[in-house]
């Protein structure tokens, strides 16, 4: 294995990955017609690979609306500096801070704490969580015990799924958790060469429905790669889970039987490859040799577009975030969009379009009152031309009425 050629390694890794995605004792047999149909439906997107932005937009050109929700502040819901990305349901907003999952209504009024931190029954430290609105259930993945605690929307503790990975070798445990509309639990794995799975699926009783093996491992004893791919991102769109890897050009769709199949292929010139990552990881070549290379980061999508994120010079202080948008209906690509948008919509905070802040065509940002007050001064507003003066005036009124030590304000940006 030590003498295998790197290009052979990459090709073999790709074959193994596709094989792992399409074979399992739990999957249903697919006809040749279905396989051909899946193959024909794969969308290939060719990016330019240029680091120079060709498309500079102001927010007013691509933003449909901006809404602000100040989160209520009292002694029961003081949020710390480290807060997670908010999750919205029809009636509520859920947000993690300091291992506690907080529940607010859609106007930002505090409702309750869902969990308590600790080791006792119903207590946990939130690593990740999933919401199933249909059944009004909340699943919290415990950061320490690696169990899943189940609560209802009233904050009542219902049950626990003990660490589902306790019997797994090599200390495998999910890094992120997602829930589908049925309440099935998906775990994604940060693969640093030792994780046994790419992803797993478990029902709400703790029974595994599917385990997608990770064929790409690192031999710790021999200090050699037995292949490795790092997960990059997971996202839900249209009740379907997708995932893709930094060093793989293929974005996979998880099917109804929990196997996966290719959905998109993202082609980038000067892509940072698995081979190059392996060689830097073993100190064979320095990161400085990757000047001008591009690292694929993530994708997201809504019903109109696929949003593609990459980094130019990823291991350098000179790295540049790249952003592209593919129109699924017109099959047209708008490449090299500057993701940093100047706010000429209402004169508020400038934003950067980032994959981890997005759900469908909505981007959610969290700002502390003192941040907004330091930037959004009377002088700032006087110097900024805006498309919607009435929205600017409403924003100024809100900022003037915010105590600087209050909980953060959610900025919800909806794209056209």
Roughly how many angstroms between the first and final C-alpha of the chain, as a whole number? 52
> For residues 111 and 153, what is the distance between their CA atoms, to the nearest angstrom?
10
**Residue 94: enclosing H or E segment and its boundaries?**
strand 92-97
> For residues 27 and 217, what is the distance between their CA atoms, to the nearest angstrom?
24
Q: Which pLDDT value is given to residue 130?
A: 94
Query: For the segment 107-154, what is each residue's pLDDT rounded down to a tens digit?
Result: 999 999 999 998 888 899 999 999 999 999 999 999 989 999 999 999
Query: For the segment 73-94, what is each residue's pLDDT rounded down to a tens digit?
Result: 999 999 988 899 999 999 999 9
* More confident of the two residues 338 and 22: 338
* Coil, strand or helix at 158: strand
Q: Is the dihedral of CA 253, 259, 262, 266 positive or negative?
A: positive
Residues 365 and 59 sit within 8 Å (Cβ to Cβ): no
Percent of residues, the chain, with pLDDT higher than 90: 56
Q: Are strands 260-267 and 43-46 parallel, antiparallel or unpaired?
A: parallel
Other CB atoms within 10 Å distance of the CB of residue 218: 18
* Coil, strand or helix at 400: helix
pTM of the shown model: 0.85
> Could you tell me the pLDDT band of residue 167, with boundaries at 50, 70 and 90?
confident
Query: For the segment 15-26, what is each residue's pLDDT rounded down to a tens digit?
Result: 445 545 554 444
């Amino acid at each position: 294995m030590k003498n295998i050629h790197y290009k052979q390694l990459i090709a073999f890794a790709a074959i193994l990955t596709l094989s792992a995605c399409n074979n399992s004792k739990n999957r249903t047999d697919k006809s040749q017609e279905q396989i051909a149909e899946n193959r024909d439906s794969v969308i290939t997107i060719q990016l330019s690979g240029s680091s120079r932005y060709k498309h500079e937009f102001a927010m007013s050109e691509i933003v449909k609306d901006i809404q602000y929700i100040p989160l209520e502040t009292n002694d029961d819901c003081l949020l710390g500096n480290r807060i997670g990305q908010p999750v919205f349901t029809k009636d509520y907003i859920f947000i993690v801070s300091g291992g506690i999952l907080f529940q607010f209504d859609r106007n930002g009024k505090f409702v309750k704490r869902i969990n308590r931190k600790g080791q006792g029954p119903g207590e946990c430290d939130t690593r990740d969580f999933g919401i199933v609105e249909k059944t009004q259930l909340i699943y919290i993945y415990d950061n320490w015990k690696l169990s899943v605690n189940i609560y209802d929307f009233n904050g009542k503790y219902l049950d626990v799924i003990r660490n589902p990975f306790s019997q797994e070798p090599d200390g495998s445990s999910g890094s992120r958790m997602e829930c589908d509309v049925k309440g099935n639990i998906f775990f994604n794995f940060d693969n640093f060469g030792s994780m046994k799975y790419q992803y797993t699926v478990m029902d709400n009783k703790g029974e595994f429905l599917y385990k997608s093996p990770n064929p790409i491992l690192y031999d710790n004893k021999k200090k050699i790669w037995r292949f490795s791919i790092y997960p990059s991102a997971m996202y839900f769109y249209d009740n379907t889970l997708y995932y893709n890897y930094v060093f793989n050009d293929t974005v996979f769709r998880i099917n109804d039987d929990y196997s996966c199949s290719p959905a998109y292929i993202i082609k980038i010139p000067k892509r940072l490859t698995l081979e190059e990552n392996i060689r830097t990881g073993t100190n064979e070549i320095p990161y400085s040799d990757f000047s001008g290379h591009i690292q694929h980061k993530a994708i997201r999508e809504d019903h109109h577009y696929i949003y593609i994120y990459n980094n130019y010079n990823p291991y350098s202080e000179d790295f540049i975030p790249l952003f592209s948008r593919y129109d699924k209906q017109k099959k047209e690509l708008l490449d090299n969009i500057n993701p940093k948008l100047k706010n000429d919509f209402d004169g508020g905070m400038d934003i950067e379009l980032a994959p981890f802040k997005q759900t469908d065509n909505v981007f959610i940002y969290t700002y502390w009152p003192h941040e907004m007050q330091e930037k959004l001064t009377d002088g700032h507003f006087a110097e900024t031309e805006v498309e919607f003066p009435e929205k600017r005036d409403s924003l100024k009124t809100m900022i003037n009425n915010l105590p600087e030590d209050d909980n953060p304000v959610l900025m919800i940006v909806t794209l056209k």
